[in-house]
Structure 1
Amino acid sequence: MTASLIDYLVEYRGIESNYHDAWGKPTTIAAATKEKLLKAMGYDVDDSNALQQLAEDEVNHTWLSPLGPVQVIRTGIEFHIAVRLPIELVDDKYEAVISTEQGGEVVCSFVPVDGQLTNVAHIEDVEFQEYVVKLEVTLPLGYHSLSLQADKDELANMRLIVAPQSCYKPQEILDGKKVWGVSVQLYCLRSETNWGIGDFSDLAYLLEKSAKQGAHFVGLNPIHALYPAQPNACSPYGPSSRRWLNFIYIDVTAVEGYEQKTVQDLINTPEFADKLRNSRNVELVDYETVTALKLTALEAVFEYQDTLYFSKNTKNNRAFKAFISEGGDSLQTIAIYDALQESLAKKGEPSWGWPVFPEELSDFHKSGVKAFAKKNKKRVKFFLWLQWQAAQQLEQANQVARDNNMCIGLYRDLAVGVSEGSAEIWGNKNLYCVGASVGAPPDELGPLGQTWGLPPMDPEKLYEQQYQPIIDLFRSNMYATGALRIDHVMALLRLWWVSKGDDATEGGYVYYPVDDLLGILALESQRNKSMVIGEDLGTVPPEIREKLAENGVYSYRVFFFEQSKDGGFFSPEHYPKQSMATLTTHDMPTLNGYWNCYDLELGKDLSLYPTQEILNGLYNSRHRNKQAILDTLHAHHSVTDEVGYDVNYVGMSRALNFGMQLHMAGGSSELLSLQLEDWLAMDKPVNIPGTSSEYPNWRRKLTQDLHSIYSDDALNKLALDLTEMRKNVSRRI
């Protein structure tokens, strides 16, 4: 193995050699890390001959393909394509025949040598040349196909994606309106009617009540499909599929057929009623019980609908079949996977994910899987039906937002990846590098760095698949929403890869085709009329924030991170207009927890800090920050003298809590998101980064039910004050 070959592959595959850490310090990636990341990508770094051959094969494959698999262009910019041909053919005349998504056809003639020569290669004594040629054509937005032809014979074809310059913004926002909304973890909602977990009917209620208070959106945690047969694998950021929904959010009582006697006889048994009562009353979501209850009841409802509708040509059957057809292989993948995982679990066989499935069932495309699906056709149909019901109830909730004139309405969250044992990987193994995990280098949120157990997409394979997987993700998560938050939006530019088994500090950055991905994001945003918010926290290179801003993606500004070098907090009046401001996030302590240092106490108990010295430093820093917060709140008259000036004598109070929220409402950000947890002065966090079983992440419920929240005079006044403050800012700016 030669060092030059490794260096070539490192550069070719976009592995970064140097970066600046979260504190601005230049950092170099170790040579051993680069080799491990290449290995995760499929390169046999331990065999120099095999490595050399693979590198040559990849280069040859590129040069022997006259066109790339896909190209993304923007409207208003000259249209160029790269063409690779043997030198004896570059003087010939060719036609680029473009078939548009809208059904039209455009033909452009060109001679490669009239363009710009950009590269040369020799393959088996044949010289190949690459030319970039300009095509004089204006194309509509969309997904088109370009065929390279000579004398009517096709030599190659590629997907051509024409994207707008930026993402969508509602007219109200373009007109200068400043809006606010609440963000929630859907599962944490309490109500008198839900089954121990927040559901889509709770969401509809929340949207309606929030709209009446003047809010213009409700932001959700990811509601991606998880694992019905593994209910305690409950992290919304480690899903099974990001295209499909978590059935657990279905309101069973709102599904047609629930009132039927067969269903009512089932749920009214003493045993079922007791479990349901306990599920509602416990402080933490009992995922096992909720899943069992909902599956049992939904199975009975499905039997009713299946008998009534799905064996004949009914309107419902036609709608169900249309949903299945539109979902394609991706929908079949999640439904078959759920049925298969459930079957294995019931037999007591290993079932946590496809890596432990029997060999004949370890890949969606294997014949054994087809045989299983055929044998268990009705059970697969049931899981298809669950996705249909979830989609319908989500659409109905979104309609409530529209009916109440919310200019955004629902805003969803797209997780950065899926867990190793997911259906998404099972259905497209070629795309994912399961020998590595996505994570983050050390930063303020995670001093030890983080490894999330989410295998990354291979950027080269994503390109070879014509970006279809990312198109599907953006499109499905923007459907029936007014905005999409992209978790860890830096993934569009680069991701921190950690080789399996390594510590998070031993990882390295791998780059992605950011301009292409942003173009696709803008196209889907405009088509779905969905704004885009990028969670740009942590180690953020300046270029990604600039690109996001240019593409109309909203920055994510968290009050506690907006500090100047002298320790003071920037006024929200100085935040970018094109941003979503917030006080806290799901990975941070609540306001109450922050002020009382409960997060530091928890971190100590969970051994998250390497030394007592580091912990002491965090306590000292927190003390200084709290004083700086009081200083800025008083300087901007966001609190009255009811809140003291000296941090040594000021505890968290309603006046301080509400004052901080109104302080944010006076800022320049077009969007403001506030958490219901902080309205309720809750102590415990939703999630503690860097933990799994050490803390009950993703289980904590709200301390009050929805009816109580919206019957609370003080909270209603806070909401109305927020609305008035946002109106005043809109008038002022």
Structure 2
Amino acid sequence: MNQYLERLVEERGIESNFIDAWGKPAVISEQSKIKLLKAMGYDTENESALAEQVQQEAEEQWLTPLNPVKVSKVDEHFSFVVRVAIEHAASKHKLVIELEDGEEQVVDFVPVDNQLQASVDISDIEFQQYLVTTDMLLPLGYHALTLKRGNKKLSTGRQITVPQRCFIPNEIQAGKKIWGLSVQLYCLRSEANWGVGDFSDLANLVEQAALQGADFIGLNPIHALYPSNPDACSPYGPSSRRWLNSLYIDVTTIDTFEDEDTQAWFNSEDIQQKLSHLRSLEYIDYEGVAEVKYEALKRVFKTFKAKHLSKNTKLNKAFKAFIAEGGESLATLSICEALQETLKRDGKDHWGWPVFPDEYKDFDSPEVAKFAKKEKDLVAFYQFLQWQAAQQFEAASDKAKSSGMLLGLYRDLAVGVSEGSAEIWGNKSLYCTDASVGAPPDILGPLGQNWGLPPMDPQKLYEQAYQPIIDLFSSNMKKSGALRIDHVMALLRLWWVYRGDDAGKGGYVYYPVDDLLGILALESVRNESLVIGEDLGTVPEEIRSKLADNGMYSYRLFFFEQAQDGGFYSPSHYPVQSMCTLTTHDMPTLSGYWHCDDLALGKEVGLYPDQDVLNTLYNTRHDNKQQILNTLHGHHSISEHISRDVNHVGMTTELNYGMQTHMASGSSALLSLQLEDWLQMDKPVNIPGTFKEYPNWKRKLSRNLVDIFNDQSISNLAKAVDNRRKAASTD
């Protein structure tokens, strides 16, 4: 590896060594590191071109007087770095700080009077870098910086002042132990929905769960997916993480649904038969749901347009205000969705921007602007969908709070967006599309994982003053009592896999973790949203300590909390600052785990490299089940009617419920239980590492919502969990 490559590997945060999920040292190959640099846009195959590239980047940095952004804690004195040509180092300069509230503060300084940090020659001119310190304490927020010399504006930047920690409700800080249910929103069944769970189902769920004592409902990512490609249904491969999945809209609650023509269409025998069929299916027919629901939404929008958009009504003003607030991000998504619909209608490839006609491949092209103008009604339709989705989500959130839930709804932020997404289309320079996010081999994925999500370039994110990440945190915390950060290690490092390579041949790329955690804390405090970091898999210890120091809650999974001798830790020994759970959407249900259904399915879809690996997994599972029985009996969480010998124990209601109440006695501040386990279901919602081999993200719950909460045995379980949580709060 030549000197430029070695330098770039270090400067761009590419890791050379790491500790794998089994605690063993692992090495990233030189070839993998070179490929990751190539994905970042470097010409790794031409040394002279690479040298020129590196030199140009360095010069551009020195010729920019202010850094793009700086993140500081609220109790730190304000300081900043400035770069000037030596001929101006003794001249008076002025830094104007425009605080977020509009107030201005000014720092007058002479660069040479401050600490010299470095110097360099560019085109025979010496440039020097100074650290300017002040005794100023800036308030929380996003502040604009402008550097001037005399009346000449030299540079701009941003100062972000952040709190010490994320928001934590007073009750939880005082020791209250709470519990809630986690659910895949689309899985919900009801007599009213159209074959997929919707926001009205969510409002009903929170009301019923609150009556049982639950303090939150945890959701799968509800990010915007692909209306014109509804079978692309993974909530973890969205088109935009800032906006909502419009398929969750309950059409019947929109006032213009009552239009006479729409009602006649809705009540027709054909539509009623379709809806009845869609509700009856065990697995969601996304194509069928989308066909009926988007037709209904277009009818509703047509009436809304006639009644409001050509008139100065209150609803027209509200809609226009929503569009203005959504800005370019909303425009990008809506135009992308309109473009995909027209391409699909014309029988052309439409899955994402990589297959758009050349004139539409760049969002900011004149041709895209012309398209948006020509199809303004269609674009407005997709903006209308986001408006309705936002209102309905907010209504469900308000219902949770009015029902007495402490946290209410908590959302899940996916780790990335898919390659064809609107989010990438609108900001291509931010993403490295020749790479994908994934994970090295670990317990959940023995072959490693490639999630098909192009990563953000950390350098570009910094150059954009972190605005994309600010927007993500802010939009996902809005009207949410908590936010779960999927694969929270992404704030520290991400496993990048070069296009076409096996997942195990990737490498880690580091991100500015302290800056990102600071921004997360700022948005958490502003939105009063507790933060949970999903820290499973290959987790460096440094990230767990950083999470704790920043007020974030760890994510503790019962099946992973084992001592070296194989025994399972008592939930009473879990960190207080954590959310505990038994299983997740990427794992089998309790019944599936106990009966090894996941291993059988894994063999069926080809997840395991050979029979020896599978045999080892079966043997390990058998041992783990025995250890679980030992733990449950040792803590008197199950009765003596259940054998202490795993060879004589199948999954029963008593064992299932016993495991859940066992967790309820733990020390974690938060406990999350899955609705699937309340219903003793066996089929998983997702098998990691599969695509078409299994119907991921389609399996519904086995019962309607109304039936769940009318079941006395489930009510008894909820009461037992609630009582144990209350008892744990007073311990």
Same fold (TM over 0.5): yes
SS at 1:674 equivalent? strand
Query: Structure 1 residue 152: deviation in Å?
Result: 4.1
Describe the shift of the 1:152–1:642 C-alpha distance in structure 2 as closer, same or farther (beyond 3 A): farther
Q: Which is further off, 630-639 or 700-709?
A: 630-639
Report the Cα distance in structure 2 between the residues aligned to 1:392 and 1:292, rounded to whole angstroms: 23
Q: Which residue is equivalent to 2:73?
A: 74
Matches within 5 A, 1:49-448: 49-448=48-447
Q: Which residue is equivalent to 1:618?
A: 617
AA aligned to 1:265 is A
Do 1:709 and 1:715's aligned partners in 2 also have CA atoms closer than 8 Å?
Answer: yes
Do 2:78 and 2:138's aligned partners in 1 also have CA atoms closer than 8 Å?
Answer: no
Q: Which residue is equivalent to 1:534?
A: 533
Q: Which is further off, 637-646 or 529-538?
A: 637-646
Do 2:166 and 2:520's aligned partners in 1 also have CA atoms closer than 8 Å?
Answer: yes
Partner deviation per Cα, 1:34-60 (whole Å, 9 max, x = no partner): 111111111111111111111001011
Q: Which residue is equivalent to 1:562?
A: 561
Report the Cα distance in structure 2 between the residues aligned to 1:41 and 1:270, rounded to whole angstroms: 56
Report the Cα distance in structure 1 between the residues aligned to 2:115 and 2:23, rounded to whole angstroms: 39
Do 2:76 and 2:137's aligned partners in 1 also have CA atoms closer than 8 Å?
Answer: no
Q: Which residue is equivalent to 1:694?
A: 693
Q: Which residue is equivalent to 1:455?
A: 454
In the alignment, does 2:703 pair up with 1:714?
A: no
Query: Structure 1 residue 555: deviation in Å?
Result: 0.5
Query: Structure 1 residue 90: deviation in Å?
Result: 3.0
Q: Which is further off, 611-620 or 261-270?
A: 261-270
AA aligned to 1:600 is L
AA aligned to 2:202 is L
Q: How many equivalent residue pairs?
A: 731
Do 2:142 and 2:159's aligned partners in 1 also have CA atoms closer than 8 Å?
Answer: yes
Query: Structure 1 residue 127: deviation in Å?
Result: 2.6
Partner deviation per Cα, 1:460-510 (whole Å, 9 max, x = no partner): 111111111101100111111100001011110110000000000110011
SS at 1:540 equivalent? coil
Do 1:144 and 1:160's aligned partners in 2 also have CA atoms closer than 8 Å?
Answer: yes
Describe the shift of the 1:181–1:88 C-alpha distance in structure 2 as closer, same or farther (beyond 3 A): same
SS at 2:255 equivalent? coil
Describe the shift of the 1:115–1:666 C-alpha distance in structure 2 as closer, same or farther (beyond 3 A): farther
SS at 1:309 equivalent? helix
Partner deviation per Cα, 1:426-467 (whole Å, 9 max, x = no partner): 111111110000000000000000001000001111111111
Query: Structure 1 residue 407: deviation in Å?
Result: 1.0
Instruction: Give the alignment's TM-score, normalised by structure 1.
Output: 0.99
Report the Cα distance in structure 2 between the residues aligned to 1:119 and 1:51, rounded to whole angstroms: 24
Q: Which residue is equivalent to 1:482?
A: 481
Do 2:571 and 2:666's aligned partners in 1 also have CA atoms closer than 8 Å?
Answer: yes
Partner deviation per Cα, 1:176-202 (whole Å, 9 max, x = no partner): 111000000000000010010000000
Do 1:572 and 1:666's aligned partners in 2 also have CA atoms closer than 8 Å?
Answer: yes
Q: Which is further off, 327-336 or 119-128?
A: 119-128
SS at 1:678 equivalent? helix
Report the Cα distance in structure 2 between the residues aligned to 1:712 and 1:447, rounded to whole angstroms: 39
AA aligned to 1:288 is E
Query: Structure 1 residue 114: deviation in Å?
Result: 4.0
Q: Which residue is equivalent to 2:494?
A: 495
Do 1:18 and 1:27's aligned partners in 2 also have CA atoms closer than 8 Å?
Answer: yes
AA aligned to 2:641 is E
Do 1:642 and 1:655's aligned partners in 2 also have CA atoms closer than 8 Å?
Answer: no
Do 2:574 and 2:667's aligned partners in 1 also have CA atoms closer than 8 Å?
Answer: yes
Do 2:141 and 2:162's aligned partners in 1 also have CA atoms closer than 8 Å?
Answer: yes
Query: Structure 1 residue 91: deviation in Å?
Result: 3.6
Report the Cα distance in structure 1 between the residues aligned to 2:602 and 2:585, rounded to whole angstroms: 16
AA aligned to 1:713 is Q
AA aligned to 1:218 is I
Report the Cα distance in structure 2 between the residues aligned to 1:609 and 1:218, rounded to whole angstroms: 34
Instruction: Give the alignment's TM-score, normalised by structure 2.
Output: 0.99
Query: Structure 1 residue 275: deviation in Å?
Result: 1.1
SS at 2:672 equivalent? strand
SS at 2:195 equivalent? coil
**Percent identity for Structure 1 against Structure 2:** 62
Partner deviation per Cα, 1:198-236 (whole Å, 9 max, x = no partner): 000000000001111110000000011000110100000
SS at 2:9 equivalent? helix
SS at 2:381 equivalent? helix
Q: Which is further off, 131-140 or 410-419?
A: 131-140
Report the Cα distance in structure 2 between the residues aligned to 1:494 and 1:93, rounded to whole angstroms: 41
Do 1:108 and 1:136's aligned partners in 2 also have CA atoms closer than 8 Å?
Answer: no
Query: Structure 1 residue 614: deviation in Å?
Result: 0.6
Report the Cα distance in structure 1 between the residues aligned to 2:493 and 2:344, rounded to whole angstroms: 37
Query: Structure 1 residue 600: deviation in Å?
Result: 0.3
AA aligned to 2:647 is N
SS at 1:283 equivalent? coil
SS at 1:36 equivalent? helix
Query: Structure 1 residue 140: deviation in Å?
Result: 1.1
Query: Structure 1 residue 406: deviation in Å?
Result: 1.0
AA aligned to 2:64 is S
AA aligned to 1:573 is S
Query: Structure 1 residue 117: deviation in Å?
Result: 2.9
What runs of 5+ residues in structure 2 fail to find an aligned partner?
A: none
Q: Which residue is equivalent to 2:542?
A: 543
Report the Cα distance in structure 1 between the residues aligned to 2:503 and 2:77, rounded to whole angstroms: 43
Q: Which residue is equivalent to 2:513?
A: 514
Query: Structure 1 residue 87: deviation in Å?
Result: 3.1
Query: Structure 1 residue 377: deviation in Å?
Result: 1.0
AA aligned to 1:492 is L
AA aligned to 1:148 is L
AA aligned to 1:627 is Q
Do 1:279 and 1:289's aligned partners in 2 also have CA atoms closer than 8 Å?
Answer: yes
Report the Cα distance in structure 2 between the residues aligned to 1:562 and 1:122, rounded to whole angstroms: 56
Report the Cα distance in structure 2 between the residues aligned to 1:458 and 1:329, rounded to whole angstroms: 21
In the alignment, does 2:624 pair up with 1:632?
A: no
SS at 2:659 equivalent? helix
Q: Which is further off, 656-665 or 126-135?
A: 126-135
User: What is the root-mean-square deviation in Å for CA atoms of aligned residues?
Assistant: 1.1
Query: Structure 1 residue 72: deviation in Å?
Result: 0.7
Report the Cα distance in structure 2 between the residues aligned to 1:619 and 1:483, rounded to whole angstroms: 37
Partner deviation per Cα, 1:115-166 (whole Å, 9 max, x = no partner): 3333332222333222222121111111101122223433222011111111
Q: Which residue is equivalent to 1:652?
A: 651
Report the Cα distance in structure 2 between the residues aligned to 1:262 and 1:722, rounded to whole angstroms: 49
Query: Structure 1 residue 96: deviation in Å?
Result: 2.1
Report the Cα distance in structure 2 between the residues aligned to 1:506 and 1:122, rounded to whole angstroms: 40
SS at 2:256 equivalent? coil
Report the Cα distance in structure 2 between the residues aligned to 1:108 and 1:438, rounded to whole angstroms: 42
Q: Which is further off, 440-449 or 155-164?
A: 155-164
Query: Structure 1 residue 28: deviation in Å?
Result: 1.2
Report the Cα distance in structure 2 between the residues aligned to 1:79 and 1:643, rounded to whole angstroms: 63
Do 1:108 and 1:137's aligned partners in 2 also have CA atoms closer than 8 Å?
Answer: no
Report the Cα distance in structure 2 between the residues aligned to 1:616 and 1:367, rounded to whole angstroms: 59
What runs of 5+ residues in structure 1 fail to find an aligned partner?
A: none
Report the Cα distance in structure 2 between the residues aligned to 1:112 and 1:164, rounded to whole angstroms: 29
SS at 2:75 equivalent? coil
